Amino acid sequence: MKRAIVNIVLAGFFILVISVVFCWFIADLQFQQAKKMELAYLWGEAERRYNFAIKADPFSVEYIVGIANFLREKGVYHRDKILWLKNAEKLYERALNLNPYCARSAVSLGLVGLELFLSDKENFKDRFELGLDSFKRALKNDPKSFDISFSVGLKGLEFWRYLNEIDKEFILDRLKYSLKIKPEYDEYICLQVWGITKDAGILQKIRPVESVQAKKKKLEIIKKLKEEYRNRQPGWEGRANNGKDVYKDGNMYWSGTLNRIIIVPEGKAILNIQAKGSPANSV
C-alpha cells in the first residue's frame, strides 16, 4: 500500500515537472515567434503570441518586458498612444515586482513615464519625477552598464528644459560615463548635446579627461612618425616562406609579408609601385 502511494506521488511529481518544462518550451517558442511577427509588422499576431507566452510563463521578466516594449512601440503609431503607454507601464511595474533589481525594467519604466508626461503634461505631471527616479533606480542596480547610461543620458537631453540643475548634472554624468566607455560615440553624443544646450562648456564637461589625454598622446605619436619618415624613401621588408630569409626593398618573394610601406596614420599618400616577378617555389 505504501509503495503504491509512493509510486503515485512520484508519478504525479514527474507529470508536474514534464508539464512545467513543456509550458516553458511552448512559452519561449511563442515569444520568439512573436518577436519575428513584430519585426514583420504583423502586430495582431505578434500581440496574440506575446500574450500566450506570458500566460504560459507568467513569472518570466523577459517575456513581460518584451510585450511591454511591443506595446510601447505600437503606441507610437496609434491615436490612443496614452492607452498603449499606460498598458506598457503596468507591465514594466509587474516586471519590477517580480525582480526589483532588473535594471532594464527600471529604465524602461522611466522611459514610458517620461513619454506619458510629454503626451499630457497636465494629467501625467507626476510621471516626470517618477521617470527620473526610475532612471536612478536602474543605474543603482547596474551602475556600469553602457546601454543604460547611454539611454538615460540621451533621453534626459530631450527633457533638458524641464530639468533642475541637480538632474542636469545627473544626465551629464551619464553622458560623460558613456563617452568614457565608448569614446567612438564622441561625435554623435556631442552633436546631440550641442543641438539642445548650445553650450560649449558642457561639451568640455562631458568629455572624459582620459580621452583628451589619449588624443594628445596620439597626436604626439603622429608628429614623431611624420618627422621620422618625412625625409626617408618608402620601403618594405618581409620574410620568405621558410620564415628565416629576410628581404628588404626588393628581391622579395611575393609570398613574403609586406611589413612597411609608409607609416603615417593620417593624410594621403601616392605610391608609385613597379614590380615584376617569375614563378618560384610555393608561389
Across residues 74-96, what is the average pLDDT? Answer: 88
Q: What is the pLDDT of residues 97-114, one digit of tens each?
A: 999 999 999 999 999 999
Q: pLDDT, tens digit, for every residue of 44-65?
A: 888 888 888 888 888 888 889 9
DSSP code string of the chain = -HHHHHHHHHHHHHHHHHHHHHHHHHHHHHHHHHHHHHHTT-HHHHHHHHHHHHHHSTT-HHHHHHHHHHHHHHHTTSTTHHHHHHHHHHHHHHHHHH-TT-HHHHHHHHHHHHHHHHH-TTTTTHHHHHHHHHHHHHHHH-TT-HHHHHHHHHHHHHTGGG--HHHHHHHHHHHHHHHHH-GGGHHHHHHHHHHHH--HHHHHHHS-HHHHHHHHHHHHHHHHHHHHHTTS----EEE-TTS--EEESSS--TTS----S---SSS-------------TT-
How far is Cα 33 from Cα 82, in angstroms, rounded to an integer? Answer: 27
Average pLDDT over residues 31-36: 83
In the predicted structure, residue 73 carries a pLDDT above the cut 70: yes
pLDDT tens string 143-192: 999 999 999 999 999 999 999 999 999 999 999 999 988 888 888 898 89
